[in-house]
Amino acid sequence: MQMQFEDAYKEVYEIVKPKYKLFTAGPVACFPEVLEIMKVQMFSHRAKEYKIVHMDTVERLKKFLEVEKGEVLLFPSSGTGIMEASIRNGVSKGGKVLVTIIGAFGKRYKEVVESNGRKAVVLEYEPGKAVKPEDLDEALKKNPDVEAVTITYNETSTGVLNPLPELAKVAKEHDKLVFVDAVSAMGGADIKVTKWGIDVVFGSSQKAFGVPPGLAIGAFSEEFIEIANKAEEKGWYFDVPKYIKYQYKKQGTPSTPPMPQVFGLNVVLRIIEKMGGKEEWLKMYQKRAEIIRNGVREIGLEILAEPGYESPTITAVLTPEGIKGDVIYEEMRKRGFEIAKGYGEGIKEKTFRIGHMGYMTFEDIEEMLQNLKEVIEDLKKKA
């Protein structure tokens, strides 16, 4: 294939070409193998070749997420689409949901519950804290009429990883559905869907799998699917039983999927296998997180997450007295590193975040930490 209008390509490339080493909250840098496969010429999503990759991706995800019963589905949306699907398909109209909130994305789940005409009961913590199983138990005792509990597995705004297996266990003891936002956890933290008793868990392509945005991944339990089969007025686009039907009959999705992202995700899942499987891959994430946390502490900075609940995919750092987070962000950009600004009520200016997701080398991490040290020293002198 020959380009005839290379100038058109170059004009856009000039705007979007890579300028920074990314330590973002997502989208994150993608693996070169992923970008390479995403360049292939398009063809019909109903063609045999697409069906092969779609079903292979689903099978690989089932293994990665340890789904023994239920279904894994791919959605042509970002992760929030499945957040909405969980409510529309799994909670009765006007029904109650216990929403646990430890940051901005727990708040989003509450908005999704309420904007779909359901009622939210809230269990909320201050930034940096994780949900405690005993508090969840208490909240469920006080609200026996809720149909589901929502949990943000990894709160991207605070860098906190909730104790998901323990929380799911408590919710199941109360016989509640468990909906898990794993957007910034899936691919970077362990998930055992069936063993942990999770009814819905969703992730997005642009986070720990290191694939461009546009594809959401969901796993659904048999119990949830039974409820969804009977649910009325689920809408068309996020009708879960419709996705299952299409996957069985047409080995695809009801509407056109983002095919390049599906190919990219398939490549990442193969890379994980070649690296030695899920355990080795997750160890890589743990190692990145530990190096970053230790580096940040050596610079003399404090981490927002309470000890024992630190995220393997993103670290929220408290800024030194008198220095705003976005100033640190801008200074790092000047040095060729894109980190993430603080996010969420009360912590936006007091924090900045370092993402550990997607494609990066350990040398990149060391270089980023060295630059961060110099930036903080310079800013402290000026403060």
Ligand X SMILES: Cc1ncc(COP(=O)(O)O)c(C=O)c1O
Chain residues binding ligand X by CB under 6 A are: 25-26, 78-80, 105, 152, 156, 181, 183-184, 204
Q: Which is nearer to ligand X, 109 or 196 (CB)?
A: 109
Q: How far is the CB of 317 from ligand X (least distance, A)?
A: 17
Q: How far is the CB of 205 from ligand X (least distance, A)?
A: 8
Q: Report CA 190 to chain centroid distance, whole Å.
A: 12
Tokens 């490549």: give the residue.
267
Q: How far is the CB of 69 from ligand X (least distance, A)?
A: 25
Q: Which is nearer to ligand X, 352 or 369 (CB)?
A: 352
Q: How far is the CB of 212 from ligand X (least distance, A)?
A: 11
Q: Which is nearer to ligand X, 157 or 266 (CB)?
A: 157
HSE-up (13 A, CA, CB side) for residue 226: 6
Q: Is 131 helix (H, G, I), strand (E, B) or coil?
A: coil
Q: What is the dihedral of CA 141, 142, 145, 151, to 10 degrees?
A: -80
Structure tokens belonging to residue 179:
């909906």
Residues 239, 190, 57: CA angle, nearest 5 degrees: 50
Q: Which is nearer to ligand X, 78 or 251 (CB)?
A: 78
Between CA 177 and CA 314 the distance in angstroms is 27
Query: CB neighbours of 39 closer than 8 A, spacing ≥ 6?
Result: 260
Q: How far is the CB of 22 from ligand X (least distance, A)?
A: 14
Between CA 82 and CA 218 the distance in angstroms is 7
If you write DSSP's letter for every residue of 241-285 in order, what string do you get? HHHHHHHHHHSS-SS---HHHHHHHHHHHHHHHHTTSHHHHHHHH
Q: How far is the CB of 161 from ligand X (least distance, A)?
A: 11
Q: Which is nearer to ligand X, 317 or 376 (CB)?
A: 317
Between CA 184 and CA 24 the distance in angstroms is 11
Strand 154-155 relative to strand 160-161, pairing: antiparallel
Q: How far is the CB of 1 from ligand X (least distance, A)?
A: 32
Beta bridge partners of 155: 160
Q: How far is the CB of 79 from ligand X (least distance, A)?
A: 3
Q: How far is the CB of 244 from ligand X (least distance, A)?
A: 22
Q: Which is nearer to ligand X, 152 or 251 (CB)?
A: 152
Tell me whether residue 324 is exposed, middle or buried, using C-beta atoms within 10 angstroms of its C-beta: 0 to 12, 13 to 18, 19 or more: middle
Q: Which is nearer to ligand X, 153 or 337 (CB)?
A: 153
Q: Which is nearer to ligand X, 103 or 323 (CB)?
A: 103
Q: Which is nearer to ligand X, 25 or 146 (CB)?
A: 25
Q: Which is nearer to ligand X, 323 or 360 (CB)?
A: 360
Beta bridge partners of 123: 100
Q: Is 44 helix (H, G, I), strand (E, B) or coil?
A: coil
Query: CB neighbours of 86 closer than 8 A, spacing ≥ 6?
Result: 148, 150, 179, 200, 202
Q: Return the CA Rg of the chain.
A: 21
Between CA 356 and CA 310 the distance in angstroms is 12
